[in-house]
């Protein structure tokens, strides 16, 4: 089983670092700035089922551009990434969610708040978080630096995609 997923988020929220240590890639980071996407592969298993995740790591732009919209086509799941230490990135992520849903319809997704290792600079309060979770959005806090929760996030999304 192969699933295409996209990673979306504002610039420098840590999308690439998040997956870096778990994925297999043959392309250089140059592709991010040239084509606007870098494709990676991660293998995960849910029970007996082995799933190859084809991760389209989209170049983070603060303003989502037309070019990238077509990259979303055929995605089975999406990961929105925001930087917990920059509140604006959360807004960007939610905005991206709106646009993505308009483009390809509803697919399983997860909202990731990255950089949880930097708690002292944390800008997102519990209230905001609760508001989001109340909308039925799954939020996972991760640290690309320590690797906390990263694998779990992908597994969670995979599970959701298979359950769909």
Which residues bind to other proteins, rule: CB under 8 A? 1-4, 24-27, 31, 35-37, 39-41, 51-52, 54, 56, 66-67, 69-71, 73-76, 161
In degrees and rounded to multiples of 5, residue 59 shows phi and psi of: -65, 130
Output 23 or 90, the one with its CB closest to other proteins.
Answer: 23
- Closest approach, Cβ 119 to other proteins, in A, equals 35
- Closest approach, Cβ 59 to other proteins, in A, equals 11
Output 41 or 151, the one with its CB closest to other proteins.
Answer: 41
Residue 138 and residue 66: Cα distance in Å, rounded? 27
- Closest approach, Cβ 47 to other proteins, in A, equals 16
- Closest among 59, 9, 18 to 42, alpha carbons compared: 18
């Amino acid at each position: 089983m192969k699933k295409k997923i996209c990673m979306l988020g504002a610039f420098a929220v840590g999308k690439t670092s998040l997956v870096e240590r778990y994925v297999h890639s043959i392309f250089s980071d140059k592709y991010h700035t040239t084509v606007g996407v870098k494709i990676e592969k991660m293998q995960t298993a849910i029970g007996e089922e082995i799933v190859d995740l084809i991760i389209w790591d989209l170049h983070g732009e603060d303003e989502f551009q037309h070019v990238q919209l077509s990259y979303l086509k055929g995605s089975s799941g999406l990961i929105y990434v925001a930087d917990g230490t920059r509140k604006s990135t959360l807004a960007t992520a939610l905005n991206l969610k709106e646009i993505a849903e308009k483009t390809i319809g509803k697919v399983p997704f997860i909202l990731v708040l990255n950089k949880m290792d930097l708690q002292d600079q944390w800008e997102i309060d519990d209230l905001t978080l609760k508001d989001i979770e109340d909308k039925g959005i799954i939020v996972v806090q991760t640290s690309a630096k320590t690797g906390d929760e990263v694998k779990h996030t992908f597994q969670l999304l995979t599970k959701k995609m298979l359950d769909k």
